Structure 1
Amino acid sequence: MIIVTGAAGFIGSNIVAGLNARGERDILIVDDMSDGQKCLNLADLDFSDYLEYDDLIARIEAGDNLGDIRAVFHQGACSDTTEWDGRYVMARNYRYSKSLHDWCVARAIPFIYASSASVYGMGPDFVEKRQAERPLNMYAFSKFAFDQYVRAQSATTKSQVAGLRYFNVYGPREQHKGKMASVAWHFSRQIEADDECRLFEGAEGFGDGEQRRDFVYVGDCVDVNLWLLDSGVSGIFNCGTGRSQTFNDVADAVIAWYGRGEKRYIEFPQSLVGRYQSFTQANIDALRAAGYGPAFATVGEGVARYLDWLADRGEADKHAGQAE
């Protein structure tokens, strides 16, 4: 059996889909289903069992036998970057991850987990080195703290432990995220509704819509996760394309797919001045050195795949009225 936590979420459900594509069906899916809309991410997928997020950790800490576990993909977390209840965030993201890590290591079970590029704060360096890490909120700090724990344990850890610092991920199965969904999702909805993509005006040295991010297609993130499982490689790695592209590039890709629409620039919020990531770009040298070779999709390629997927499932119309 393979365990996937956060299985009803964005990246977790795509990992389940990736495992299914390999013929894997013996999957224990774990999530907090308080938001029942997330069940739609699993409706077309196959799995063998389900546990609530809190139930899994209770069973692990009680020493229960969960059977023959081949690997754990730990994607579940409190991902709200505006949550400042530090005790809650650390309990969900740090203590939970630590308990699951220790349980896997004690049983030599491969443990592949989600870290985050948010550990780098405002940058400007995005490389897996301590001096580049400056978390700016509780979510980022919780991810940073667990990475620190993994590093401290690595010298004595015999089994595989690998963390992926996801950059700006976009793609299928993110519709439940609302405001936290990718700009590709929001631009698609805006074209559907108003025939326009709304982007920020220039600020902090960047022109209109020229802020840059490392936008990575979720299918590529799944491929990296599955490669880690196959390779047995351990370490903490950036999971991005290694290049930055502009928000204009994303809007242009959405407009090109629809064959209609235009861009409109809106005032840059004063509340974000000095607190907005205007540039991210993953350094993927460590991932390449570990042996990962496949190319990552460009924004044009990834957005086209994404919108094809939405069109095939009618998602653009189905969720057009969802609150932003």
Structure 2
Amino acid sequence: MIIVTGAAGFIGSNIVAGLNARGERDILVVDDLSDGRKCLNLADLDFSDYLEYDDLLARVEAGDELGDVTAVFHQGACSDTTEWDGRYVMDRNYRYSKSLHDWCVARGVPFIYASSASVYGMGPDFVEQRAAERPLNMYAFSKFAFDQYVRAQSAKTNSQVAGLRYFNVYGPREQHKGKMASVAWHFSRQIEEGGECRLFEGSDGYDDGGQRRDFIYVGDCVDVNLWLLDSGVSGIFNCGTGRSQTFNDVADAVTGWYGRGEKRYIEFPESLVGRYQSFTQADVNALREAGYGRAFATVDEGVRRYLDWLAERGAADATHHSE
């Protein structure tokens, strides 16, 4: 049995879909369904059992056996970057991850978990080294703290432990995230509703819409997760394309798919001055050196796949997800 936490979330549900595509059905999906709309991310997927997030933690900390567990993909977390209740975030992200890590290590179960590129703060370096890490909010700090724990434990850990620092992920099954969904999703909705994509004016020396991010298609994130499972490689790795592209590129890909739409530049918010990442770009050398060789989708390729998927699902389904 494979356990996926955060299974009703964005990346977690895509991992379940990726496992299903391999013929895997014996999957324990774990999540907090207080927001019941997230269940739609699992409605077309196959799994063998469901467990609430808190129930899994209680069983893990009690030392319970959960059956023949062959791997754990730990994607669940409080991902709200505006949450400043540090005790809550550390309990939800750090303590939970630590307990699950220790349970897996004690049993030799591969443990693959979600870290975050937010540990790098404002950059400008995005390489898996301590000198580049400077988290700026509680979410980022909780991810950074767990990475620190993994590093400290690695010398005495014999089983696989691998973390992925996700960059700007976009793609299917993210609609429940609302304002936290990707710009690709928001641009698509804006074209549908008003015929124009709204981008920020220039900032930090960048032209209008010219700020750059490392946008990675969620299918590529799934491929990296499954490759880690197959390879048995341990370590903390960036999960980005290694190629930054502009917000204009995303808007152009969206309007190109629709065959219509304009770009409109809006004033850069005063509240974001000095707090906005105008540039991110993953250093993927460590991942490549570990043996991952597949190419990553460009924004144009990934956005096309994403909007094709949304079109196949139909507007009604997309609307249910985005309420």
TM range (shorter): over 0.9
Per-residue CA shift, 1:266-310, capped at 9, x if unaligned? 000000000000000000000000000000000000000000000
Aligned residue for 1:9? 9
Equivalent residues of 1:72, 1:112 under 8 A apart: yes
Q: Which amino acid aligns with 2:142?
A: S
Question: CA separation in 2, counterparts of 1:318 and 1:229?
Answer: 31
Aligned residue for 1:131? 131
Distance 1:283 1:88, change over 3 A: same
Aligned residue for 1:118? 118
Aligned residue for 2:212? 212
TM superposition shift of 1:218: 0.1
Aligned residue for 2:234? 234
Equivalent residues of 2:112, 2:163 under 8 A apart: yes
- 5+ unaligned residues in a row in structure 2: which ranges? none
Q: Partner of 1:114: helix, strand, or coil?
A: strand
Question: CA separation in 2, counterparts of 1:178 and 1:321?
Answer: 9
TM superposition shift of 1:203: 1.1
TM-score of the superposed pair, with normalisation by structure 1 = 0.98
Distance 1:148 1:256, change over 3 A: same
Equivalent residues of 1:189, 1:316 under 8 A apart: no
Higher deviation after alignment, 29-38 or 308-317: 308-317
Distance 1:291 1:316, change over 3 A: farther
TM superposition shift of 1:63: 1.4
TM superposition shift of 1:320: 8.2
Question: CA separation in 1, counterparts of 2:57 and 2:286?
Answer: 31
Q: Which amino acid aligns with 2:134?
A: R
TM-score of the superposed pair, with normalisation by structure 2 = 0.99
Aligned residue for 1:288? 288
Equivalent residues of 1:189, 1:320 under 8 A apart: no
Equivalent residues of 1:6, 1:12 under 8 A apart: yes
TM superposition shift of 1:64: 1.3
Q: Partner of 1:277: helix, strand, or coil?
A: coil
- 5+ unaligned residues in a row in structure 1: which ranges? none
Q: Partner of 1:319: helix, strand, or coil?
A: helix
Structure 1 residue runs of 4+, over 3 Å off? Answer: 315-318, 320-323
TM superposition shift of 1:75: 0.1
Equivalent residues of 2:40, 2:321 under 8 A apart: no
Aligned residue for 1:197? 197
Q: Partner of 2:282: helix, strand, or coil?
A: coil
Equivalent residues of 2:57, 2:100 under 8 A apart: yes
TM superposition shift of 1:318: 3.9
Aligned residue for 2:223? 223
Question: CA separation in 2, counterparts of 1:61 and 1:283?
Answer: 36
Q: Partner of 1:109: helix, strand, or coil?
A: coil
Aligned residue for 1:105? 105
Question: CA separation in 2, counterparts of 1:249 and 1:41?
Answer: 28
Equivalent residues of 1:117, 1:165 under 8 A apart: yes
Equivalent residues of 2:175, 2:321 under 8 A apart: no
Give 1:1-324 correspondences, 5 Å limit: 1-315=1-315, 318-319=318-319, 322=322
Distance 1:166 1:291, change over 3 A: same
Equivalent residues of 1:192, 1:316 under 8 A apart: no
Per-residue CA shift, 1:107-137, capped at 9, x if unaligned? 0000000000000000000000000000000
Question: CA separation in 1, counterparts of 2:65 and 2:233?
Answer: 26
Distance 1:321 1:229, change over 3 A: closer
Q: Partner of 2:96: helix, strand, or coil?
A: helix
Q: Which amino acid aligns with 1:307?
A: L
Report sequence identity in percent: 87
Question: CA separation in 2, counterparts of 1:321 and 1:19?
Answer: 22
TM superposition shift of 1:204: 1.4
Equivalent residues of 1:188, 1:316 under 8 A apart: no
Equivalent residues of 1:310, 1:316 under 8 A apart: no
Question: CA separation in 1, counterparts of 2:318 and 2:41?
Answer: 14
